[in-house]
Amino acid sequence: MKWLSKGKLVSVTGVCIITALVFQFIHFTIMSDIIFWIATILAGYPIAKNAFQAITLKVISIELLVTVAVIGALFIGEYSESAAVTFLFILGSYLEHRTLEKTRSSLKSLLDLAPLEARIVKDGKEEIIAAEDVQEKDILFIHSGEKVPADGRVIDGEAHVNEAAITGESIPVQKKANDKVFSGTIIDNGYLKVEAQKVGEDTTFSKILQLVEEAQDTKAKTQKFIEKFATYYTPSILVLSIGVFIITRDIRLALTFLVISCPGALVISAPVSIVAGIGNGAKRGILIKGGEITERAAKLSIIAFDKTGTLTVGKPQVAAIKTIEITENELLAVSAKAESFSEHHLARAILDEAAKKGVASNEKPENFQVFKGMGVIASIDGNSWLIGNRKMMAHNQVKINDDIEQYVYNEEVRGRTAVMIANGQQLKGIISISDRIRPEAAETIRLLKKAGKKVIMLTGDNERTAATVAAEVGISDYFAGLLPEQKVAKIKELQASGLMVGMVGDGINDAPAIATADVGIAMGGAGTDAAMETADIILMADRMEKLPFTLNLAQATVRNMQQNMFFAVSIVILLLVGVLSKTVFLASGMLIHELSVLIVILNAIRLLKFKSTGRSPINTNTNVFVTIPNQK
């Protein structure tokens, strides 16, 4: 039955009851009873139908309890009571549905952002097609005020783009040639020509919708417990009502007991809070994958951070080059060629520098091998080149004299990563690379500590660099020189000591650690499939300061759920007292029961307006440069 029809049914039944009361007032009893019967049948039919459908599935539902109570009321001639109970039940159900819709308003607002059409070039002419018909490699034209219909790369034009649909940030971001754009974002001003790279369900926007929808339907542990409890509780109430009648011989008391014991508010107490909490996060570019994740996030006692791309910006640059019997350009060219297959931050910095100096080439190395936590080895023109850290050099017996050791030490003290390059066993040079600490890192760490969280850093970088970064952001406990598997082992060690561990990383290099933690949190998930698939919580915008809000939201959601459960149980207990003291009757019991359901929902809706706790302004002009991890 459509909800519009249900609304009309509520209205018609209400009019019937008012009319019946009028006839009752003028002592036209027969007409009054007939109209009460009509009202009962009109409102009772959908209730009885749902009860029957549940029985066919071997489920004793709340609708069955109400149906039994209504039949009992009709049997003893309480027609006004039967009409009132059915009317109040469908009225409550109608209001419950309308109010619940508000808890899912975040998802609806996201759906409203979905692009509907696209402007493409076909056979040299512009034409407008449905967004779902866009194919990969299509050339798209997006004008000011239009939505981007697919993920893609800008090939021409310049514009400011509102990416709120992806990151939750409404401040427009400038886009120009070679920048990525995402489906669902809106051109604030300007013009872009874009090559479509991901279309339809493969776009980041579609995946966000899918994740939010799945998350809102994923049950928390508490919710699973309540539902299991209800499967035993509801039939028990039916049996107890029979027992009450047998003992008291008071059928009105037994029927009232049946109605007021319905666990409606209790059953809905957990899911409505979870849906509202996840919806709040989704609006702000925070994807929480379900109720169970929310419960775990609320209990986190320790937060472990990766360094590169998490505490640092993750955009390293070459800061200095030292050569040994080779020119700078030759060293840079051979290093770029050897790293051309690598996707590590170090490799990107070297490749960018080679391109900037015009020494990059399209030639690819042979026998390319990655040694995690050490570096790479590749063959170029028949020579074996090693690019990596001390471990890599020591493992291959590359001799490093005292002067070079001192140079490397000085670079690390300055906050730079020293990447060594060797031809065979002969060291040929060192490329120093630096990265910038996120301006919001120190404030975020402070807020987490203030919230009672222990904070540590796990990094593959060396001891000196780790100490420098940890001191800058205010982390007193750090573990340096860790390989990916050692990060996993450290997290397991913390879990074994009874701590609930959250791991924060970029979702790519730290996938094993993120997957091992009780809650894996990935930053900058927009356009990164690995992050969206591996992490439990994804901060779509590359904004670290959203982490304290995320954890606060999880705690607020769990508190809201507990408030609802306490209220629902308390109401049932108070109603039982009222029934036993004969101050609560059939219709009034149903009224209070339905009101309790609505109050539970309204309490959950408060979560939609939950805002972050007071955060101190962050100095975005901070410009501290540090090293990036020498880990591959």
The secondary structure of residue 310, as a DSSP letter, is I
Q: One of 151, 306, 435, 542 is an active-site residue; which one?
A: 306
Distances (CA, A) of 398 to 284, 373, 419: 51, 17, 14
Return the structure tokens found at 537.
């919580």
Listing from the earlier edge strand, what are the strands of the sheet with 501-505? 286-288, 537-539, 519-523, 501-505, 302-305, 454-458, 477-479
What residues have CB less than 8 Å from 387, skipping those under 6 apart?
A: 335, 338, 339, 375, 376, 377, 378, 419, 420, 421, 422
The secondary structure of residue 311, as a DSSP letter, is I
What residues have CB less than 8 Å from 21, skipping those under 6 apart?
A: 32, 80
> What's the length of the chain?
632
Return the structure tokens found at 389.
């850290």
Distance CA 229, CA 267 (A): 9
Active site residue 306: yes
Distances (CA, A) of 169 to 284, 343, 419: 7, 28, 36
- In DSSP terms, 125 is beta-bridged to 122
Chain centroid to CA 153: 26
Query: Of 422, 326, 345, whose CA–CA distance to 378 is shortest?
Result: 422
- In terms of Cβ atoms closer than 10 Å to its own Cβ (0-12, 13-18, 19+), residue 38 is middle
What radius of gyration, in Å, describes the C-alpha atoms of the chain? 32
| Catalytic site positions | 306
